[in-house]
Homo-oligomer: A and B are copies of this chain.
Amino acid sequence: MYSSELIKGTLKTIILKLLSESDEMYGYELTQRVKELTGGKIQLTEGALYPTLHALEAQGVLTTNVVNVGNRIRKYYSITPTGKQLANDKVNEYADFIDTMTFLLGLKPNMG
């Protein structure tokens, strides 16, 4: 787990990226997927995740589809074309930012 300040500002980018690669995902699924992909190093908190999903929906970049699974509710999120554009922009901006920080902090370029 990283110190919480580092992760700040990356939540929207992460959500949009994962949703632009998948047909649809629900909130809890996003938390599990991020945990899995990062080996537990990044864990989305529900208190941050759900309000952000609601905001992205209100903004028109995500649409929802509520489904009953057994007796529980699941709210699936899909990305809109506008959202895909936004996801691309955010990911590209973050890639640029990483390059800048890599240089500023004197880190070796990562060669895999």
A residues in contact (CB < 8 Å) with B: 2-3, 5-10, 12-14, 17, 21, 34, 37-38, 41-42, 91, 93-107, 109-112
Contact = CB atoms under 8 A, between A and B. Distances in A.
A12 B8 CA distance: 14
B10 A101 contact: yes
A47 B101 CA distance: 21
Q: Tell me the interface secondary structure of chain A in the complex.
A: helix
10 contacts: A2-B96, A6-B10, A17-B106, A34-B104, A38-B100, A38-B104, A41-B96, A91-B107, A94-B101, A109-B111
A14 B104 CA distance: 8
B9 A5 contact: yes
